Amino acid sequence: MAAALLALCAGCTASSSPAAGPTITPFSSPPTVSASTQPLASHGPPKVAGLSWRGLGTVIHGRYVTYVATTRHGSIGLMWMDPSLLKFRFVPGSAYPERSPILPQDRQVSSWAPQMAAAFNGAFKLTDQDGGYYYAGVTVSPLRPGLASMVVTKQGTLSVVVWSSGNVSLAGVQVVRQNLPPLVDQFVAQTSPQDNNHTWGYADHNATLANRSALGQLADGSLVYAYGYQVRPPDMATAMVRVRARTAIMLDMNMSQPGGFVYVHHNGTVAGQRILATIYHNSSVYLMWYKKDFVVALAQS
């Protein structure tokens, strides 16, 4: 099926190039964590008491590029990703983020599937939160200081930062996807007992428990994606602090939107696996151009 999808998508026609966006002025103040100076991990996931990591998915030079584990009695799945063996690519969805530029390669699964090692969902609809969005030279929604931001450079490095209050250079940046205040900042959870059901996103008709996702970055530059089944925001923050995330961003939520997957390649085909069995979609969801944005981790030999 994967091969058929690749062949089908390779023949997709590209849309015309988007109109040029506003001029981006080079600024001097960097985000809280600079995407351009991201350190690279190579030693494996963090050793945490009571947390058992297992290598799963793609192997390069005898090393797994992704490890998975569970926490909170199995209701939160974790995926650790090694940036020394991976590059990252943001793919805007066919419908969301709203008004996003669409590049020709964004429609073509064949431009990411051959190197696909992992993938996970993006963030909220722009209409559901006040965060900014920048992609391929276009500021679709103004970037706001103090918000958690997923930053992918043109070289494929991925960082989770808190956007600074000063002017920030976007030189070399491919995407900035903002989503709410930071879930974790400087290793400290930012949730509070005073939070209401709307503080971290209005979930499933005001449900207290919901399927949620988050992305954290550790001090060594490695990344951990978390998928939570029927959890509260503090549960996600606790999981991020437990794996020693310095900064974490809350990503998409509700029954069907969150999902993280690992992939392996054999004889020209690609097969994927959920990091937690309760994820709604199967792994083929990102072997096509999906309606919502997602991030692909690409194996580097």
Domain regions of the chain by residue span: 41-133+182-192+203-299
Judged by DSSP in three states, 196 sits in coil
Q: Does the pLDDT of residue 12 top 70, yes or no? A: no
Residue 238 φ/ψ, nearest 5 degrees? -60, -40
pTM: 0.87
Name the one residue in this structure whose structure tokens are 């692909």: 296
- CB 229 within 8 Å of CB 24: no
Distance CA 120, CA 212 (A): 12
Digit-coded pLDDT (tens) for 108-152: 999 999 999 999 999 999 999 888 999 999 999 999 999 999 999
Q: What residue type is assigned to position 230 of the chain?
A: Q
CA distances from 124 to 177, 206, 299 (A): 10, 16, 27
Nearest Cα residue to 144 out of 171, 178, 101: 178
Give just the sign of the alpha carbon dihedral 249, 241, 188, 198: positive
CA distances from 13 to 93, 135, 147, 182, 208 (A): 16, 21, 36, 38, 43
Number of residues that this document lists for the chain: 301
Distance CA 151, CA 174 (A): 8
For residue 29, what pLDDT is reported? Answer: 30
Digit-coded pLDDT (tens) for 31-72: 433 444 455 677 899 999 999 999 999 999 999 999 999 999
